[in-house]
Structure 1
Amino acid sequence: MIDAPYANLTPDLVLDAVSACGLWPDGRLLALNSYENRVWQVGIEDEAPVIAKFYRPGRWTDAAILEEHAFAQELADAELPVVAPLVFSGRTLLHHGGFRYALTPRRGGRAPTLESTEQLEWLGRLIARMHAVGAREPFAHRGRIDHATLIEQPVQAVLASSLLPESLHANYRNAAQRLDAAAAARQDAVGPVRSLRLHGDCHPGNLLWTDAGPHFVDLDDARGGPAVQDLWMLAHDEHAMQSLLDGYTSMRDFDPAELALVPVLRAMRQVHHAGWIAQRWHDPAFPAAFPFAAEPRWWEQHIADLHELADELE
């Protein structure tokens, strides 16, 4: 475990890394909101700024990162509004000062209006086109949205962490086991569903809107899984989901049985979020961003939430 994974990532190193690509930074740096990785907007002399993304050490293999880059380029080649990494001397995954990083063009935009039926249908059509590309072949290195990744591993991280009070270990374990069993039963009831390459973390924060329409950013959580994974986080209610599906099904078939998986995916995300905080607590950015996780009452509420999610599934 790296106690401070980005301790040596100084502004000078960021500028040097961009310079190493043959660009000329003008000294303007803007740190962008990112906890898992470190992301900077870097001003370039006489050119548009670029985005420099420094990957968290040890999270993904080089092969998995390159697979993300290839997927982004495949989507861009299909004329989808996805930002692909820039290529330098035939490479998209770059190394400097002990860090792995990639540069992409800066693409601005505003938050989407998810109460708009028109925008939701537009997003549905766009996601369907992404999925048509994603269905061509599976990921080889990026894993899947599954029990091991989103329940088992996060639960182990929480139980191994000093954040969870000892007095709550049994309660947390019981709640997690109950939720795990309920999620497995729901998945068994739904039966097999088709898996495809996904954006994976398709929430409003990874979506920007311009006068030309929407575009997606950050494929860092791209994995294999069911199509509904890229829809449910954009749907705040049943009407929104129906609007997304109206757009989606105008471009691509959708198996309605997948809708029964939404509570499972929601539960997995909640379990994973707590495990993610516990696993990353050694990174100084996490105690600063999530101070509530050091409070026993937050874990008491989390345990109650897990039981509530299990109730919904059962």
Structure 2
Amino acid sequence: MPDETPYARLTPDLVLDAITACGLWPDGRLLALNSYENRVWQVGLEEGSPVVAKFYRPGRWSDAAILEEHAFAQELADAELPMVAPLGFAGRTLLHHDGFRYALTPRHGGRAPSLESADQLEWLGRLIARMHSVGARKSFSHRGFLDRDTLIVQPMHAVLASSLLPTSLRERYRQVIEHVDRCIGARFQAAGPVRNVRLHGDCHPGNVLWTDAGPHFVDLDDARMGPAVQDLWMLAHDERAMQALLDGYASMRDFDHAELALVPALRAMRQVHYAGWIAARWHDPAFPAAFPFVAQARWWEQHLTDLHEQADELE
């Protein structure tokens, strides 16, 4: 299977065969769910509720790192947190079929939380605090840290190696990234030592599903070690929302308010990583179809402008 088309062989028939290999009986209903990094399908079963099948992108994570993700999800579920954990088959959660690695989880529906609701934000703050209390019990060994090498240096190299970045902007891009990186480094240094915990890592509204019974969390694919504020800032669109999250958080766990100074740095790191992620995955046919604007010079002009603004905020 060529690296430039990692999912070329992942046909609906192969997905159904993989489900059958677990001893389940699919009824033929398949619904592709929104995912670019991996491939995710909702699969109907002859008996019982549907399951969600997540096929991992080849080469991204080691087996050991994926098993850490699964173990963390189960640890959170065992602590009675609303985390959707993988199903086990003969004691295994990481499954293999015809060259693909995959996992199955129960299907849980829901809607995005209302980020205008102080009550819902406080509820989320309490749950994230409890998640971090579990996350602080030990460290990841294989999933790494939310650091500048992962979110600045590697994405920068991916962009510079890509034909997406116009030649006329290459030197300007390099200078802007180096400037942003210096500002981020200074911000982390000024904040002092950071207490790293196991994080959800990508705790945006799309990974929180709300029902009448309350919220539950999905998708630990970006779980890493990092500061607690990483799992808060993407849910807070303004200071009022952040305060509501922190009110809930502080009722369950102490929060180091010095970490709030890291939010502009984390935001800038995410912007840099976003462009590098698309550049690194451009060979996957799903990416040009989903992000056609990234092939336009004006998108890169705006990206550089945004990074300049982030650097100004950091300074």
- TM class by shorter chain equals over 0.9
User: For residues 77 and 291 of structure 1, what CA distance do their matches in structure 2 show?
Assistant: 42
Identity of aligned residues (%): 79
Residue identity opposite 1:32 in structure 2 = L
CA displacement, residues 107-133 of structure 1 (integer Å, 9 cap, x when unaligned): 011111010000000000000000000
Which residue in the other structure is 1:311 paired with? 312
Q: Secondary structure at the match of 2:22?
A: coil
- The reply to whether residue 70 of structure 1 matches residue 92 of structure 2 is no
Q: Which residue does the alignment assign to 2:122?
A: 121
In 2: Cα distance, 1:106 partner to 1:46 partner: 14
**Residue of structure 2 in register with 1:222 after alignment:** 223
Give the structure 2 partner of residue 80 of structure 1. Answer: 81
The CA deviation at 1:304 is 1.0
Per-residue CA deviation, residues 208-230 of structure 1 (Å, 9 max, x unaligned), is: 00111000000000000000000
Deviations 1:127-184 (A, max 9, x none): 0000000000010000110000000000000000010011110000000000000111
- Secondary structure, counterpart of 1:102 in structure 2: strand
Name the amino acid aligned to 2:94. Answer: L
Summarize deviations over 1:215-269 as a string: whole Å, max 9, x none. 0000000000000000000000000000000000000000000000000000000
Q: What residue is the counterpart of 1:12 in the other structure? A: 13
Residue of structure 1 equivalent to 2:182: 181
Secondary structure of the residue aligned to 2:37 is coil
Name segments (4+ residues, structure 1) moved above 2 Å: none
User: Normalised by the size of structure 2, how large is the TM-score?
Assistant: 0.99
Q: How does 1:230-249 map to 2 (within 5 A)?
A: 230-249=231-250
Find the aligned partners of 1:14 and 1:226 in 2 and give their Cα distance. 37
The CA distance in 1 between the partners of 2:254 and 2:48, in whole Å, is: 42
In structure 2, distance between residues paired with 1:307 and 1:238? 22
How far apart, in 1, do the equivalents of 2:9 and 2:284 lie? Answer: 13
Structure 2 Cα separation of the partners of residues 219 and 302 of structure 1: 27
Letter in 2 for 1:103: L
Q: What TM-score do you get using the length of structure 1 for normalisation?
A: 0.99
Please name the residue that 1:56 is paired with: 57
Equivalence for 1:163: 164
Alpha-carbon distance in structure 1 between the residues aligned to 2:170 and 2:38: 30
Name the residue aligned to 1:131.
132
What is the root-mean-square deviation in Å for CA atoms of aligned residues? 0.6
1:54-100 Cα offsets, whole Å, 9 max, x none, are 00000000000000000000000000000000000110000001100
Q: Quote the residue 2:103 is aligned against.
A: 102
Q: Which amino acid aligns with 1:64?
A: A
**What are the Cα deviations for residues 24-62 of structure 1, in whole angstroms up to 9, with x where unaligned?**
000000000000000000000021000000000000000
Gaps of 5+ in 2: none
Q: Which runs of 5+ in 1 are unaligned?
A: none
Alignment map for 1:31-46 (pairs within 5 Å): 31-46=32-47
The secondary structure found in structure 2 opposite 1:168 is: helix
Aligned counterparts of 1:284 and 1:191: Cα–Cα separation in 2: 43
Structure 1 Cα separation of the partners of residues 305 and 42 of structure 2: 40
Query: 2 CA distance for matches of 1:199 and 1:258?
Result: 17
Count of residues in correspondence between the two structures: 314
Secondary structure (helix, strand or coil) at the match of 1:58 reads coil
